[in-house]
């Protein structure tokens, strides 16, 4: 324990409480989100609520008294802060501190609501605003006594106790839950009662609310608050770069547009969109502020815009028909001139550290090694790792990070390069813990979906995918991809991040083993084969042919065992490859690790992935899915290649 902290503790005697607090609800913020903006506000609001509830502790005793999360010198709420914290509180201050925490949480939320109500057209709305709102946040807390001596010598066992108590208490809420008894539920959360008709219709009659609350979009007070928080940037919520998932899917294309802003077609496009926006009652904007939807052809449909903006006036409708048609024509010229189109898919990623609970409670460490300092150090690493990962997403990945707590991540990435970025995140996470007795791994759920697919479903699947990744492999440390094609079919593929026992025969006949990165060494290079220059590339028919021959390499050994003819597979793989690559293209002839050709490497590694005998890290119940898993891998490479090639007119 650092000297300053020890001294501060001594001022309060030698009896303390370990206090553990969690603020909720958490899942609600994620599940109820319809737009990325809702998600941003929800996550930020929860961070701010948690931060405000902690305030009485660090104001009174100092930041050192909060053991987890690590706050450092931050004087304002960090972007992502876990909703669970642990602190040391002097024994005689427990009751007053807990009261202060509760009050601080309540007054934070009241203050937010006051700011929302000021935005309302007239104070008359106060009469429609009920107590529903009071229920938005709740806290659970547990405290156990600890002496200074125990803090120094038996911290680990005390921590175990408090963990156990909190798990039991999580079942109950501290504040009375609001119970709706009406069947007119909110369209967003679906479980709270919606606002009174009078309030809804009066808000809709005011121009500035009209565009924010759509016709029939009947919200409850909590969802309405969140929406208005978004729209009016109340409580200084950071401005979000992305409003909707189309902003994310179109991100790379938009970048291309910005890079070519001087082109005539692009100038024409911008002015036509701006005059169309004027008809719709919106302000014109610069190209960098144009939201993602405007780069998609289907957005210019007359009927869609008419409904979306609720236009009724005949002269406006005539203008709308004319302007939307012109804009659409110019957009097609832009596609043609840039030889590209916006991608229709994007990636949701959730990541979760493997066995972090065990790490945080020092399961594999001796009591004497798992000290309060050790835990403070872990807290610091997690907080730094969270910041680094968030930077990777927002800067290098050109994406949007909703929450990054260090071992827990929810983010959105444009499809292009998303897998590369995800791989980088994994390395960055591992690097953070370097030198620690135990270096944790993490697993990822990756959902690739169409920008018109419901966001909520994507979020649920992302959560399920990360759970699946952990289930499939014995030591976790894996990823699970769910590709949801707009036509409705779903392709899932799971893999460890690395192949640890990959061996090849090198030039002189010796056998050498390598660590193979599945995304960077296998998936990406193979996709590059299919997206090379048209006169050099591997035809997608290669995959179709390989898949149709695949069953002939497998044989049923026992009820659940398959054997795989490795030799035959490799021979056929090479034969098909050569057939589907243009003559003299040189594809696959460059060397891999200065040892063998790329084609030899890809052949070996594909044979490894297809072979049930090689996939020994898979949990028993998934072992007989190796063949199917391999087929899905092939289909995903095909999809990625097709999406990268969307500039051509096939789509």
Residue 250 to residues 151, 290, 535, Cα–Cα distance (Å): 53, 11, 28
Backbone angles phi, psi at 317, to 5 degrees: -65, -40
Are 525 and 606 contacting, i.e. CB atoms less than 8 angstroms apart?
no
Query: Would you say 226 or 496 has its CB closer to Zn ion?
Result: 226
Q: How many residues does the chain have?
A: 651
| Six token digits for residue 324 | 């939307």
Distance in Å, CB of 344 to Zn ion, minimum:
29
Distance in Å, CB of 44 to Zn ion, minimum:
18
| Six token digits for residue 114 | 């006051």
Checking 90-96 for CB contacts under 8 A at 24+ apart, the result is: 90/12, 90/13, 90/15, 90/16, 90/17, 90/61, 91/13, 91/15, 91/16, 91/17, 91/145, 93/12, 93/60, 94/17, 94/19, 94/143
- Going 448 to 623 to 515 to 478, the CA torsion angle's sign is positive
Distance in Å, CB of 37 to Zn ion, minimum:
15
Query: Would you say 220 or 638 has its CB closer to Zn ion?
Result: 220
Are 478 and 493 contacting, i.e. CB atoms less than 8 angstroms apart?
no
Are 32 and 188 contacting, i.e. CB atoms less than 8 angstroms apart?
yes
Distance in Å, CB of 204 to Zn ion, minimum:
17
Query: Would you say 231 or 545 has its CB closer to Zn ion?
Result: 231
How would you label 268-280 residue by residue, b for 16+ Cβ within 10 Å and e otherwise? bbbebbbebbebb
Query: Would you say 227 or 537 has its CB closer to Zn ion?
Result: 227
Q: How far from each other are the two terminal CA atoms of the chain, in whole angstroms?
A: 62
Query: Would you say 136 or 603 has its CB closer to Zn ion?
Result: 136
Query: Would you say 227 or 476 has its CB closer to Zn ion?
Result: 227
Distance in Å, CB of 63 to Zn ion, minimum:
36
Query: Would you say 28 or 243 has its CB closer to Zn ion?
Result: 28
Distance in Å, CB of 52 to Zn ion, minimum:
23
Query: Would you say 8 or 35 has its CB closer to Zn ion?
Result: 35
Angstrom distance (rounded) from CA 341 to CA 335: 6
Query: Would you say 225 or 379 has its CB closer to Zn ion?
Result: 225
Are 277 and 283 contacting, i.e. CB atoms less than 8 angstroms apart?
yes
Chain residues in the site for Zn ion (CB under 5 A): 186, 188-189, 192, 220, 223
Distance in Å, CB of 219 to Zn ion, minimum:
5
Query: Would you say 223 or 372 has its CB closer to Zn ion?
Result: 223
Distance in Å, CB of 112 to Zn ion, minimum:
16
Q: Who's near 54: CB < 8 A, 6+ residues apart? A: 21, 66, 71, 85, 87, 101
**Mapped to the 3 state alphabet, what secondary structure does 547-579 carry?**
HHHHHHHEEECCCCCEEECHHHHHHHHHHHHHH
Beta strands, E only, 8-80: 15-24, 66-68
Query: Would you say 227 or 484 has its CB closer to Zn ion?
Result: 227
Are 614 and 459 contacting, i.e. CB atoms less than 8 angstroms apart?
no
Distance in Å, CB of 213 to Zn ion, minimum:
12
Angstrom distance (rounded) from CA 116 to CA 113: 5
Distance in Å, CB of 123 to Zn ion, minimum:
24
Distance in Å, CB of 461 to Zn ion, minimum:
22
CA dihedral 413, 415, 419, 421 (to 10 degrees): -40
């Amino acid at each position: 324990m650092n000297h300053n902290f020890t001294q501060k503790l001594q001022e309060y005697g030698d009896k303390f409480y370990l206090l553990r607090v969690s603020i909720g609800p958490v899942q609600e913020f994620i599940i109820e989100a319809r737009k990325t903006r809702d998600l941003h506000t929800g996550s930020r609001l929860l961070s701010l609520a948690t931060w405000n509830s902690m305030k009485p502790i660090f104001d009174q005793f100092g930041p050192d008294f909060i053991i987890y999360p690590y706050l450092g010198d931050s004087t304002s709420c960090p972007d992502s802060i876990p909703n669970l914290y642990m602190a040391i509180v002097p024994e005689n201050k427990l009751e007053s501190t807990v009261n202060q925490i509760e009050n601080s949480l309540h007054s934070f939320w009241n203050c937010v609501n006051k700011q929302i109500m000021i935005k309302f057209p007239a104070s008359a709305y106060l009469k429609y605003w009920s107590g529903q709102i009071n229920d938005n946040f709740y806290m659970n807390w547990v405290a156990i006594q600890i002496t200074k001596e125990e803090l120094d010598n038996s911290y680990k066992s005390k921590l175990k106790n408090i963990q156990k108590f909190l798990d039991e208490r999580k079942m109950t809420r501290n504040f009375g839950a609001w119970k709706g008894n009406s069947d007119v539920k909110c369209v967003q959360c679906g479980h709270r009662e919606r606002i009174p008709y009078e309030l809804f219709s009066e808000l809709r009659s005011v121009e500035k609310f009209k565009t924010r609350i759509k016709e029939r979009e009947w919200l409850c007070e909590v969802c309405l608050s969140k929406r208005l928080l978004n729209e009016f940037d109340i409580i200084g919520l950071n401005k979000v770069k992305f409003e909707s998932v189309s902003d994310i899917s179109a991100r790379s294309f938009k970048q291309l547009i910005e890079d070519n802003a001087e082109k005539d077609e692009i100038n024409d496009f911008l002015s036509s969109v701006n005059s169309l926006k004027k008809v719709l009652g919106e302000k014109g904007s610069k190209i960098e502020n144009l939201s993602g939807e405007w780069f998609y052809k289907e957005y210019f449909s007359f009927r869609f815009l008419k409904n979306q903006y609720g236009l009724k006036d005949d002269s406006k409708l005539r203008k709308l028909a004319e302007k939307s048609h012109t804009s659409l024509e110019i957009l097609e010229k832009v596609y043609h001139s840039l030889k590209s189109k916006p991608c229709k898919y994007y990636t949701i990623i959730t990541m979760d550290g493997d066995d972090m609970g065990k790490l945080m409670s020092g399961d594999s460490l001796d009591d004497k090694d798992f000290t309060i300092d050790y835990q403070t150090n872990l807290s610091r690493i997690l907080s730094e790792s969270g910041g680094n990962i968030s930077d990777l997403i927002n800067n290098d990945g050109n994406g949007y990070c909703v929450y990054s707590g260090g071992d827990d991540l929810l983010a959105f990435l444009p499809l292009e390069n998303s897998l590369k970025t995800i791989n980088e995140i994994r390395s960055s996470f591992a690097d953070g813990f370097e030198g620690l007795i135990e270096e944790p791994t993490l697993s990822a759920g990756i959902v690739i979906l169409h920008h018109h697919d419901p966001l909520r479903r994507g979020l649920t699947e992302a959560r399920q995918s990360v759970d699946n990744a952990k289930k499939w492999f014995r030591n976790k440390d894996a990823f699970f991809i769910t590709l949801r094609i707009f036509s409705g079919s779903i392709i899932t593929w799971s893999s460890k991040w690395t192949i640890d026992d990959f061996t090849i025969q090198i030039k002189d006949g010796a056998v050498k083993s390598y660590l193979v990165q599945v995304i960077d060494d296998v998936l990406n290079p193979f996709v590059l084969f299919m997206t090379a220059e048209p006169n050099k590339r591997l035809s997608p028919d290669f995959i179709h042919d390989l898949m149709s021959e695949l069953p002939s390499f497998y044989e049923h050994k026992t009820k659940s065992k398959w054997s795989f003819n490795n030799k035959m597979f490799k021979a056929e793989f090479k034969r098909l490859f050569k057939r589907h690559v243009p003559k003299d293209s040189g594809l696959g002839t460059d060397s891999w690790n200065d040892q063998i050709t790329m084609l030899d490497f890809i052949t070996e590694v594909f044979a490894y992935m297809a072979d049930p005998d090689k996939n020994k890290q898979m949990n028993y119940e998934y072992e007989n899915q190796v063949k199917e898993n391999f087929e899905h891998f092939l289909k995903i490479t095909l999809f990625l290649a097709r999406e990268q090639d969307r500039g051509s007119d096939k789509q």
